[in-house]
Structure 1
Amino acid sequence: MGRYAVAMSRTPPEEGTPGTARPSLRRGYLLAVVILLGSLLMVWMYARTAGEREQRAAQAAFESQSDEVLTLLRQRLLHYELALRGGVSLYWSVSRPTERQWRDYVGGLDIEHQFEGLLGLGYVPYLRRTDLEALQLAMRDEGKGLFQIRPHGARAIYGPILMLEPQSIGNRSALGFDMFSHPVRREAMAAARDTGQVRLSAPVELIQRGGDGRRNGLLMYAPIYANGIQPANLQARRTAMSGWVYAPFHVRTFMESALRQLDSGQLLRIVDLGQGGPGIEVYVDPEFRADPEPETLRHSETVELYGRTWRVDFQSALRTAGAAGAGADLRTSVAAGLIVSFLLFAVVLTLAHTQSRAERLAEAMSESYRRSEQRFRNAMLYSAGGIALLDRQGRIVEANPALARILGVAPASLPGTVLDSRFVDPGTGVAQGDSYSTATCKLLRSDGDIRLVELVRSPVPGDVGSDVASLVQVEDVTDRVRAEREVRLLNRTLEARVEQRTRELTLANHELESFAYSVSHDLRAPLRTVEGFSRLLGERFGDAIGPDGQDYLARVRKAANRMDALIDALLKMSRITREPLQRTQVDLSRLAGEVLAELRQGEPGRTVEAVVEPGLEACGDPALLRNLLQNLLGNAWKFTAGRADARIEFGRDPDAPPAPGMLALRVRDNGAGFEPAYASKLFRPFQRLHGADEFEGHGIGLATVKRIVERHGGGISAEAAVGEGATFRFTLPERAPEPPHEPH
Structure 2
Amino acid sequence: MPESSATSSLSPGRAIVSRKNSIAWFVAALALLATVLFWQYQSEREQEAASREFTLLTDDIAVAIRKRMLNHEQILLGGAGLMDASGRVSRVEWRVMVERLRLSENYPGILGVGYAQAVAPEGLEEFEERVRAEGFPDFQVHPVGPRPFYTSILFLEPFRDRNLAAFGYDMFSEPVRRAAMQAAAESGHTRMTGPVRLLQETHGEVQAGILMYTPIYHRGAPLDTPAQRQRALRGFVYSPYRMGDLLEGILGSRTPGVRYRITDTEAGLDFPQLYSDLIPDSAEATHQRTLDIHLYGRNWRLEFASTPSFERTSGPSPWVLLLGLASALLLFALASMLVLRREQAERIAHQMTRRLRASNEALRQSEERKRLALQGSNDGWWDVDLQTWHFLASDRAWEMIGYPPQDAAQSLHRWQSVLAPQARHQLISALRGVIQSQQGTFAEETRLTHQTGHSIPVLLRGIVQRDEAGKALRASGTMQDLTEAKRVEQLKSQFVSTVSHELRTPLTSISGALAIVNSGSLGPVPEAMQRMLEIAQDNSQRLNLLINDLLDMEKLAAGKMQFEMRPCPLTELIDEALTANQAFAASRDVSLQRQGDSACWVRVDSMRLHQILNNYLSNAIKFSPAGSVVTVETERDGDRVTISVIDQGEGIPLAFQEQIFSKFAQADSSDRRQQAGTGLGLAITRELAQQMDGEVGFSSLPGHGAIFWLRLPVEAAEEQPADAPDDGAERTVLVVDDDPMIAEFVALVVRRAGYIPTTATSVAQARSCLQGHSYTALLTDLRLQDGHGLTLIRDLRADPASEALPILVLSAYCEEGQRLLQNGSEDSALAWLDKPVDEKKLVSVLEELVARCRATAG
Report the TM-score, using the length of structure 1 for normalisation.
Answer: 0.47
Please tell me whether Structure 1 or Structure 2 has the larger radius of gyration of its CA atoms: 1
